[in-house]
Structure 1
Amino acid sequence: MAEAQAVLEAPAPAAVEPTGPSGSEAAAILLMLLGDEEAADVLKRLDPTEVQHLGAAMFNVADVTEDQVERVLDLFMTRAKARTTIGFGSAPRIRSVMEQALGQDRAESMLARITPPTDSRALDAMRWMDAPTIAALIENEHPQIAALVLAHLEPPAAADVLQLLAPDLQADVIYRVATLESVTAEALEELEHVLVREVTRSSSRPATARGGAAEAAKIMNNTRAGTDQRIIRTLAKVDKKLAAAIEDEMFVFDNLNELDDKNLGTLLRNIENDVLVVALKGAEEKVREKMLGCMSSRAADSIRDEMEERGPMRLAEVLEAQKEVIAIARRLSDAGTIMLKGRGDDYV
C-alpha cells in the first residue's frame, strides 16, 4: 500500500508520451486497478484537493488500453495485465470507492461536484474554505448568489455559513435554495467573478441540478435548535406552502431510528398510546422494533396487540399520527429535553 501511495504522489513516469494520460489520470488508472478497500485506503491518506483531482480524473480514463496501462504503471504491470476488464471510468465503481473512502454522505456530495458535466472550479474551491471565509465573501452579494453557494456545500458546512449571515438574510437565502432548480452557465460565471480571489478563471459550464425543498431541509437540519424554526416562521410569511414543504422534509418519522435509547425513551413517554399505535402501523420494521425496544416488555406487547387488533388503516391516518410524533420530537428538542441528530452544536 505504501508503494501504491508513492506512485500516486510521484510525477507522471517519464516513459509516458505526451499523448498519454496525465499524472492525475495515471494515478486514477492505478486506483481503478486496486480493489475498492485498497483504493479507499489510499484516498483516505490524500488531502481534499488530491481526492478531488483524482475523482475527476477517474471519469477521464474511460478508453485506456492495456498498452497504456503497462507504460504508465510498469511497477504494477503484473496486476494490470490480470485485471484489464475492470471497467475503467465506471460511475458505479467510482461511487463504490468514494463511499468506502469518504462515507456515503460525503461521497454523494463529492460525486455531485466531480461527475461531468456538473463541476465548477469556483464551487470546488469554495467547499474547502471555512465558514467565516465563505460568509464574508457572500454576505454583501445578491441572496441568489448566497443560495447557489449554500446549495453546493455539504449541509453541515452550509448550516455553519447560514448562521453567520444576517438574520434578515437567512430566510431569504433558504427560500432561494428551496426554489433553486438548475444553475445556468451564466450564474456559475458570475459566481466565478465574485470569488475571483479564491478560484481559477471562469469557464463555460452546463446547467447543474441542485436546490429544492429537500436541499434546503438538509441545511436547516444542521442549524442549532431554534434557528430552524425562526427561519421557518419568517419564510412562512412569504410562502406558507414552501415553508411547510421544507419543514416536512427536515425531519421524517424514520429519522427517529437515529435517536439513542435515552432520547427515544424520553420521546415515547410524551406520546399518547393511541397516537403511537397508529404511527407505528406505517413505520419501517427496524424503526418500529427500536421504538418498542425502548419500552418495557409489557408496554411493547400491549402496543403490538393493539396494532394487530386495529387491522388495516388508511395511509392518511397513519401519516397524520407520524406528523404528530414528529411535532412532539421537535418541541422536546427545542426545549432541550432531547437532542435530535444534526442540530448544530447543541447538547443536552
Structure 2
Amino acid sequence: MAENKPAEKPATKMRAVDQAAILLMSLGESDAAEVLKHMGPKEVQRIGAAMTQLSNVQQQDVQQVMTNFLEEVRTLTGLGVGADNYIRRMLVTALGEDKANGLIDRILLGGNTTGLDTLKWMEARSVADLIRNEHPQIQAIVIAYLDSDQSAEILSFFPEKVRLDIVMRVASLDTVHPGALQELNAILEKQFSGNAASQTKTMGGYKVAAEIMNNLDGSIETSLMEAIRNVDEDMGNQIQDLMFVFDNLKDIDDRGIQALLREVSSDVLIVALKGADTDLQEKIFKNMSKRAGELLRDDLEAKPPVRLSEVETAQREILMIARRMADSGEIILGGSGEKML
C-alpha cells in the first residue's frame, strides 16, 4: 500500500528559485553547467541550495516548471551571495560526487576570474582574514567592490574601530586609480589567477556605504552609524538618507508591494511584520486578497513573541528580495533617496 504523504505544492505556488532548481535538475550535467557558468556566485548559491532541498517532486510539477520557463524565458533573475566550499558541498549533496566534480570545475574554474572577482566565491571570514593586515584603503576598496551583503558579513569579523574606519573610507571613495587596483590584484594573485585592472574604476561612495549598512546586523548598524556621526555628522546623515530600511517598504507603490509579496514566504513575512509598525502592516494587508489578508492578520496575532534578532533576519531577507527586484526593474523603491520620475 502506498504511503500517505502530503501532496506536493504545485509549481505555480513555488518560489522562483525552487522552479529554477527543478529546471536545472531536469537538465543534463553539461547543459546545467552551461547555464550556471553565466550566473554570479550569489545566483549559484541560492539555486544550488534549493537543489539540495528538492524531494518527491511530482511529474506534473516538473512539466509546469518547464511550461513556466518557456512562458517567462525573457525574465532575468538575481539571487543572493555564495562561497566556493559551500557550493562544492552543496552540489556534491545534490548530484553525487562524480557528477558534481565535473560541474564544479566548469562553474568555479571557468571564465576570466580576476583576483577581486574570486573573492565573491569565498566565505566572508576567509576574505576578512585575507585582507585583515592590508592597508585600510586596500580593505576599503575590497569592501566597496564586493556585493553589499557579502561586505556587511565581512565587516562583522572586524573590530568596531576597524569597521568604522573602513565604512568611512568606502563612503569617501569615488574613483580608484589603476595603480591601486594593480597593487590589490598583485596581492590577491599570490593565491588566485587573473588580470590586473588597467583603467580607473568608479566604486564606493555614500550609496555603497548605505547598502553595506543595510545588510549589517541591527546592533552593529546602530552603533556604527552613531560612531560615523560622531566623527562626521554630515557623512552620517547622507548615508542614513540613502539607506533602505524595512519601514521604507511603505513608500513602494501597491503594484510593487504585490509583486514583492509573491516572492516572500508567509513564514518569513509573519516574523518580519512582528517588528513593523501598524501603517506598514496595513499596507501589506490591503495588497493581499481579502481572505489572504485575514489569514495573515490572524497568524500575526497568534504568533508568540520572537527574538529581535529573528525579526531583523526576516526583515533583511525581504529587503534583499526588494533590492534585487529593484535592480532588475520589477519594482521601484520609493524611499531611501531614490528619485521618482
After TM superposition, the score normalised by the length of structure 2 is 0.49
Q: Could you say which structure has the greater relative contact order, defined with CA pairs below 8 angstroms and 6 or more residues apart?
A: 2
TM-score, normalised via structure 1 length: 0.48
